[in-house]
Amino acid sequence: MNSKIKNILKKKNKSKIVSLTAYSKNIARILDKYCDIVLVGDSMANVLYGLKNTHEISIDNIIQHTLSVKKGIKKSLLVVDMPKGSYVNKKIAKKNAKLIMSLTKCDAVKLESNSKNYEIIKELVKSKIPVMGHIGYTPQFKKKFKVEGFTPNQEKELINEAIKIEKAGAFSIVLECIYSKCAEKITKKLRIPTIGIGSSNFCDGQILVTDDMIGLSGFYPKFVKKYTFINRIIEKAVKKYTRDVKTNKFPTKKNFLNG
């Protein structure tokens, strides 16, 4: 097993797993210093491409961005989202996961659960492709963004789903927008680490979309803590540049290229 994955597994019940998303080298280089896991998420659809949902992101988009991110990664575990339609059956999933792994040299792929694709996870793991699961709000399969696991029935279903994903061989699992008590129960039941997003601090680790937590995406749901408003910083710089160009303060002799 990949030593980076071993290290992630060892963190269960010991230290929290830090994870964020990246779509490019420059962001990845910053994250790599602090994150255990960097995810090339299909959230790039909304965040980067301004699409309505994640469904239109292609495997080529994912590979292209992963190649960029990989250039900024030295130590973190690099996980890549398999886009919608790329794992509709075992054969297609294996072909596409192998393509992603071999072209990008990433460490693992992430698959959203539709409560049926356990055999696909099993097949990938059998082929030595490390898999991260993803349950709760799974944008590839669910239209409505809502908290999951609130009722006893939903809780039971989510716990079963998580157990089946662990049994299929996944090395960790994202819990997205899962009610805190349910996230706690899942985390206690599983041997593999849970990575929460909008699912409380009972999880073994946390992930956020970087553009959300730095205030760039304009998407500010309750579960996202805004650590800065980078959009304001960028705007200030652009405003200053505009003023300088218009008033002939930039470029000055300092910026001239001589010879």
Among 36, 81, 107, 148, indicate the residue that binds ligand KIV (CB under 6 A).
81
Of 169 and 198, CB closest to ligand KIV: 198
Say how many C-beta atoms besides its own lie within 10 A of residue 246's C-beta: 9
Tell me which residue of 107, 49, 116, 102 sits closest to 77, measured CA to CA.
Answer: 107
Active site annotation includes 235: no
Least distance CB 212 / ligand KIV (angstroms): 9
Three-state DSSP class for residue 176: strand
Q: CA nearest 28: which of 3, 81, 65, 63?
A: 65
Count residues contacting ligand KIV (CB under 6 A)? 10
For residue 41, what are its two tokens? 């998420």
Which lies closer to ligand KIV via its Cβ, residue 97 or residue 209?
209
Of residues 165 and 207, the one with the C-beta less far from ligand KIV: 207
The whole-angstrom separation of Cα 230 and Cα 237 is 11
Alpha-carbon distances of 51 from 44, 45, 54, 210, rounded to whole Å: 9, 5, 7, 17
Whether a cis peptide bond, with omega within 30° of 0, leads into 130 is no
Cα separation, 216 vs 48, whole angstroms? 10
Q: For 93, list phi and psi in degrees, rounded to 5.
A: -60, -45
* Comparison of 106 and 197: residue with beta carbon closer to ligand KIV: 197
Nearer to ligand KIV, 115 or 250 (CB): 115
Q: How far is the CB of 53 from ligand KIV (least distance, A)?
A: 11
- Residue number of the CB atom closest to ligand KIV: 41
Q: Which of residues 37-76 bind ligand KIV (CB under 6 A)?
A: 39, 41-43
Of residues 199 through 218, those in contact with ligand KIV by CB under 6 A are 207, 209
| Separation CA 212–CA 200 (nearest Å) | 17
Do the Cβ atoms of 70 and 77 come closer than 8 Å? no
Of the pair 197, 243, the CB lying nearest ligand KIV is at 197
Q: Is residue 148 within the footprint of ligand KIV (CB under 6 A)?
A: no
Catalytically annotated residue among 112, 157, 176, 184:
176
Candidate ranges 35-43, 149-157, 159-167, 230-238; the one touching ligand KIV (CB under 6 A)? 35-43
Out of 8, 20, 21, 178, point to the residue binding ligand KIV (CB under 6 A): 21
Residues 101, 174, 186, 192: which binds ligand KIV (CB under 6 A)?
Answer: 174
Cα 191 to Cα 64: distance, rounded to the nearest angstrom: 33
Contact 135, 178 (CB under 8 A): yes
Which residues belong to the active site?
176
Residues that bind ligand KIV (CB under 6 A): 21, 39, 41-43, 81, 174, 197, 207, 209
